[in-house]
């Protein structure tokens, strides 16, 4: 089964090639939501999660397109999914919702606006804050475990998680900094590097599924 979410806006950077479905394909389902997306959505093996401009999060069953749950939470940032949890940054809080039910698992204050989308990796939520701090939140309860200050060289794109618990951050001046994912300390800094690309797209209120 191939799931597609179509809208007019396209990513402005190169995406990794994705396997194409075998043709001919038939439409499995289509759903038109009551408001367009506010940011990129996310999906796992069971559901599609969409942040909407009417300040709600809608979860659709991936097999049927039926609405699984709806929550009234505003966000202008892409959602991320991991460990059966949907993570998001609202204007003043981080939220973690149970992926199956939409029930709040935890919420913690967001002390300052974000500079880049959240990422999830191996039990961590990584956030880049407006003042140049990269913080690592424990995904199970939202506790802040570490913080690394980047200051005026803060990135404008989401960090990229690599192998061996390394987090790569591309700075405004073209440098790449490698941070430890477990405690946030700087491992190395490459002053000659170009910027990393992280892939995140845009999700539409017209959702379709091919089988």
Task: Give me the half-sphere count of Cα atoms (radius 13 Å) on the Cβ side of residue 117.
Answer: 23
pLDDT over 70 (residue 128): yes
Evaluate if residue 173 carries a pLDDT over 80. Answer: no
Report how far apart, in Å, the C-alpha atoms of 108 and of each of 67, 93, 177 are: 27, 6, 27
Q: Could you give the angle at the alpha carbon of 126 between the alpha carbons of 204 and 163, nearest 5°?
A: 100
Q: What is the pTM of this model?
A: 0.80
- Dig out the tokens for 184 from the structure: 């946030």
CA-to-CA dists, residue 94 to 43, 110, 126, 204, angstroms: 19, 6, 11, 23
Question: What's the pLDDT tens digit per position in 42-75?
Answer: 999 999 999 999 999 999 999 999 999 999 999 9
* pLDDT of the residue at 170: 86
Say if CB 104 and CB 95 are below 8 A apart: yes
* Neighbouring-strand partners of residue 190: 176
**Token duo for residue 164:** 């061996």
44's tokens: 């796992």
Nearest to 143 by CA among 188, 84, 96: 96
């Amino acid at each position: 089964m191939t799931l597609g979410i179509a809208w007019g806006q396209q990513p402005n950077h190169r995406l990794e090639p994705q396997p194409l479905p075998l043709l001919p394909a038939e439409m499995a389902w289509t759903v038109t939501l009551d408001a367009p997306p506010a940011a990129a959505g996310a999906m796992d093996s069971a559901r599609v999660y969409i942040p909407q401009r009417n300040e709600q999060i809608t979860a659709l069953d991936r097999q049927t397109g039926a609405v699984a749950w709806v929550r009234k939470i505003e966000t202008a940032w892409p959602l991320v999914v991991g460990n059966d949890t949907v993570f998001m940054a609202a204007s003043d809080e981080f939220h973690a919702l149970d992926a199956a039910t939409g029930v709040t698992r935890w919420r913690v204050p967001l002390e300052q606006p974000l500079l880049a989308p959240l990422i999830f990796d191996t039990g961590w939520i990584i956030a880049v804050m407006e003042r140049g701090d990269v913080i690592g939140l424990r995904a199970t309860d939202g506790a802040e475990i570490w913080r690394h200050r980047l200051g005026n060289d803060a990135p404008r794109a989401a960090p990229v998680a690599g192998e061996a618990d390394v987090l790569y951050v591309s700075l405004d001046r073209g440098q790449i900094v490698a941070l430890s994912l477990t405690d946030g300390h700087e491992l190395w800094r490459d002053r000659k590097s170009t910027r990393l690309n992280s892939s995140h797209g845009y999700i539409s209120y017209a959702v379709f599924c091919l089988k």
